[in-house]
């Protein structure tokens, strides 16, 4: 069992805590999430890793007419049980979808935004401005299709293809994305902020001296300085509603609840409640990187969080938090640090999301209550954010029963 110290993180009285002020919402991203590697620093592993992946792929573009390229891509994807989203297909059919009039081979680089100096988050226009300022170029529109056709991208975590945006059928500017061999699209409207750890694919111009990029590689995640006075993201007040009532409340507010999240709620129907109506729990958001990992399993994350004085929260807090967090920022994904609940398939935890177009053909900016399957050995990356409880130092705090 994870989290042998699952605390009742707060006293059972409605007026007993520092309830966060929604009008003064604290950004969960730390002000200075990076440490600068000064000249002569011994820890050059980050620099070496980046140099090794400067030329991520090389592809040939401009070799196939748009219509033929679309047919070729669809055939290849269907043959490998991959998919092309409807919005991505519409983009490829658009008059704005342009292909170079000559065939050429180009080199691609897939940096995380933090690797080009974006320390927190930025809209797409700002990303492009910074990338072009250091000599990178936007890719031609056929780059996403050619990347999938010319390379095995089945194991690639989602990469966003930096091109001139194409207006989607939803009226929003969009770019292509490649994820695990499939091709989708993402909204790059001004209101969408992209996190520092997300990977974008750019073109490295011919003749660029790789050594000139060394000056860019001076950032790494700061895991050396843990702040014990982290701001509370949200104080959740337990409503005491049954799981089926929590589900109904989400539906009333047009909050999408995934099938996996519904499975967790169904499982909670037959388990004894851990919290009571009126209990309050202070929630702290922390990244895997802040806990000292580039990649880590859930047990490793929990162990490190508990060393920092944080605690797992009862599963009921996931849907309660979703209902009480309407001000969540777009493109924010928060995994709930909870004991995984066994569902018909695998143990699962809740995931609270505010995003535009989680599903390939959904362009609405909306709240979601999702889940993730916690198979053995599942790994999270440094920019994934978890929400844990912060126990209040009060003699009256209770320790709830484990399930």
Question: One digit per residue, pLDDT tens: the chain, 403 residues?
Answer: 444 333 333 322 223 232 233 333 222 222 322 333 333 444 444 444 444 444 568 899 988 888 899 999 999 888 777 888 888 999 999 878 888 778 999 888 888 787 777 877 889 999 999 888 877 899 999 999 999 899 877 666 688 999 999 998 888 899 999 887 789 889 999 888 888 878 899 998 776 554 445 444 433 334 334 555 667 899 999 998 999 999 999 999 989 898 999 999 999 987 777 777 888 999 999 888 888 887 889 999 999 999 989 999 999 999 999 999 998 877 678 999 999 999 998 899 999 988 755 444 454 567 899 999 998 888 888 778 899 999 876 533 433 433 3
Query: What is the pTM assigned to this prediction?
Result: 0.59
Query: If phi over 0 gives left and psi between -120 and 50 gives alpha, with beta otherwise, what is residue 253?
Result: alpha
| Inter-CA distances, 333 with 82, 219, 400, Å | 25, 23, 27
Contact call for residues 162 and 227 (beta carbons, < 8 A): no
CA quadruple 270, 275, 280, 285: dihedral sign: negative
Cα–Cα dist 237/282, whole Å: 9
Contact call for residues 142 and 352 (beta carbons, < 8 A): no
Q: Give the SS3 label for residue 118.
A: coil
Beta bridge partners of 335: 351, 386
């Amino acid at each position: 069992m994870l989290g042998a110290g699952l605390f009742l993180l707060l006293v059972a009285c409605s007026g007993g805590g520092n309830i966060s002020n929604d009008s003064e919402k604290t950004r969960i991203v730390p002000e200075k999430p990076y440490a600068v590697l000064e000249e002569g620093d011994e820890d050059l592993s980050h620099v070496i890793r980046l140099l090794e992946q400067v030329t991520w792929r090389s592809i040939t573009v401009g070799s196939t007419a748009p219509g033929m390229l679309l047919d070729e891509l669809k055939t290849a994807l269907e043959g490998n049980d991959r998919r092309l989203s409807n919005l991505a297909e519409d983009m490829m059919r658009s008059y704005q979808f342009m292909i170079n009039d000559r065939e050429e081979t180009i080199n691609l680089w897939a940096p995380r935004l933090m690797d080009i100096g974006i320390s927190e988050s930025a809209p797409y226009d700002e990303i492009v401005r910074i990338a072009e300022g250091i000599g990178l170029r936007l890719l031609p529109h056929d780059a996403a299709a050619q990347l999938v056709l010319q390379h095995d991208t089945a194991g690639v975590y989602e990469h966003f293809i930096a091109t001139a945006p194409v207006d989607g059928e939803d009226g929003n500017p969009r770019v292509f994305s490649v994820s695990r061999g499939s091709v989708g699209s993402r909204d790059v409207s001004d209101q969408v902020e992209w996190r520092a750890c997300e990977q974008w694919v750019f073109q490295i111009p011919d003749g660029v001296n790789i050594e000139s990029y060394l000056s860019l590689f001076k950032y790494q995640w700061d895991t050396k300085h843990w702040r014990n006075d982290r701001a509370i993201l949200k104080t959740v007040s337990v409503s005491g509603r049954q799981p089926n009532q929590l589900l109904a409340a989400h539906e009333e507010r047009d909050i999408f609840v995934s099938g996996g999240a519904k499975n967790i709620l169904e499982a909670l129907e037959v388990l004894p409640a851990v919290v009571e109506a009126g209990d309050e729990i202070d929630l702290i958001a922390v990244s895997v990187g802040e806990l000292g990992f580039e990649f880590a399993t859930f047990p490793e994350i929990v162990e490190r969080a508990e060393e920092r004085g944080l605690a797992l929260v009862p599963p009921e807090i996931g849907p309660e938090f979703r209902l009480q967090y309407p001000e969540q920022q777009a493109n924010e994904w928060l995994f709930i640090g909870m004991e995984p609940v066994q569902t018909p398939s695998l143990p699962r935890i809740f995931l609270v999301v505010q995003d535009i177009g989680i599903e390939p053909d959904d362009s609405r900016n909306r709240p979601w209550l999702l889940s993730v399957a916690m198979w053995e050995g599942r790994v999270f990356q440094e920019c994934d954010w978890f929400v844990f409880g912060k126990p209040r130092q009060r003699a009256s705090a209770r320790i709830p029963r484990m399930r």
